[in-house]
Amino acid sequence: MEQESKIATFYDLPKSFISDAVSRIDIVDRLVVQKLSKYLRAIVFGLPPLKLKLNLEIDARLIKTMFNNCEAEYVNIYDEYTGVCRVRSTKTFEGNYLQTALNDIKMIAKNNATELYFSSLEKSNKLGASLYEDSENAGAEEMNISSGTIEFKDFYHKEIATILSYFKKGVFEQIIFRGCKSDGGMEQIYKLEPWRMAKNFFSEWDVELNGSLLHFFHFTGFIIHINTITDEMAMEIRDILFKREIFEWCDIHCNSSDFSPRKLAKVFQADYIGGDSFQVNYSNDISNFRIISELYVIRPTSDKPQTKDWWRVVIRKEGIP
């Protein structure tokens, strides 16, 4: 009996041939290919990646992206010419380079992107204005992020609000601000679903409070820098701790000499008679919390010749280190 001949498939081709072919296609198509096939994923990336990682840098006339190890540049070269430069190829298109980049990012981020890093290079307010305009006209589907980190570096808060608005269905493990600048945009951020659904928040610069800390205690934990904790804020913290079950920890750094730690202590322990550095306990009948106040002194350096003191207020639910 004559043996049936095996039908040749794509998988019978030499790996070098497949790798070369995949390297020549568009970055979005390449990521689709590596997602659909473990075999191709091993060829494209060497090993099957467990998570898709997206890095994005935004300049006034350039967007650089890297999806795992697939790089792409979206460039606005002249006013009369816009184009997107991709690995080993250049494509021109009608429309705005920023809109095209964000639409591609949306498409890719829907497929299990778990770590997103946004940073800006010599950005200006003009870029912020174009972000707002483009976000209204992009028209692509919403990103759906189920977990991971989104980090912003050197952005204004209004620009962060614009980018976060693309993640209407997202739930982030943490949102991070590094070197981000106040411009009245935090009020917009507070209203966004990704902000309300995120688990943790960290900011290394001051954030706008609008007189309230309520916008932070829906997180499991957060670290923020603010000017001071007013008497009203202290009572607000006490009332929040009495009601909230999700919150577990926070570090609040107060930069102002106007802050009175002893007044904060008295809100949680009316008979407190100690100094500004303290640890007091507070219970809401469900959980126990410890509230700690510590003085930090930043010693002078050649770059920063002045000594600066600030207070760190630590709140921890019982059992949280």
**Which has more pLDDT, 216 or 10?**
216
pLDDT at 130: 44
Give the model's confidence band at 286: pLDDT under 50 very low, under 70 low, under 90 confident, else very high.
confident
d(Cα 20, Cα 13) in Å, to the nearest integer? Answer: 12
pLDDT in tens, 69-124: 566 666 654 444 444 444 334 444 445 656 666 666 666 655 544 455 555 554 44
* The predicted structure's pLDDT at residue 208: 83
- The mean of the pLDDT values for the chain is 72
Pinpoint the residues of the chain covered by CATH 3.30.110. 209-321
- Up-side HSE of residue 37: CA atoms within 13 Å toward CB? 12
Distance CA(100)–CA(282), nearest Å, equals 52
Angle between helices 125-137 and 97-109 (to 10 degrees): 60
- Could you tell me which residue, 211 or 189, shows the higher pLDDT? 189
**Structure-model confidence comparison of residues 57 and 238, the more confident one:** 238
pTM higher than 0.75: no
pLDDT score for 267: 94
Whole-number pLDDT of residue 178: 85
Which pLDDT band, with edges at 50, 70 and 90, does 242 fall under?
Answer: confident
Encoded amino acid at 292, one letter? I
Residue 320 pLDDT: 87
For residue 290, the model assigns a pLDDT of 95
Enter the CATH code of domain 209-321: 3.30.110
Q: Which is more confident, 137 or 15? A: 15
Q: Which amino acid is at 182?
A: S
User: Mind listing the pLDDT tens digit for each residue in 195-236?
Assistant: 999 999 999 888 888 778 999 999 999 999 998 999 999 999
CA-based max dimension of the chain: 99
Residue 303, pLDDT score: 60
Using 50, 70 and 90 to split pLDDT, how confident is the model at 125? Answer: very low
Q: How confident is the model at residue 250 (pLDDT cuts 50, 70, 90)?
A: very high
Helix axes 27-36, 15-23, angle to 10 degrees: 140
- Reported as a pLDDT band with limits 50, 70 and 90, residue 319 is confident
30-70: pLDDT as tens digits: 655 655 555 555 555 554 444 555 666 666 556 666 665 56
Q: How many angstroms from the chain centroid is the CA of residue 50? A: 20
pLDDT of residue 141: 42
What is the structure's pLDDT at 310?
A: 87
pLDDT of residue 124: 45
pLDDT in tens, 254-270: 987 788 999 999 999 99
The bridge status of strand 52-59 relative to strand 62-67 is antiparallel
Q: What are the φ and ψ backbone dihedral angles of 91, each rounded to 5 degrees?
A: -125, 140
pLDDT band for position 137 (cuts 50, 70, 90): very low
Per-residue model confidence (pLDDT) at position 89:
40
> Which pLDDT value is given to residue 271?
94
Supply 3's token pair: 């043996």
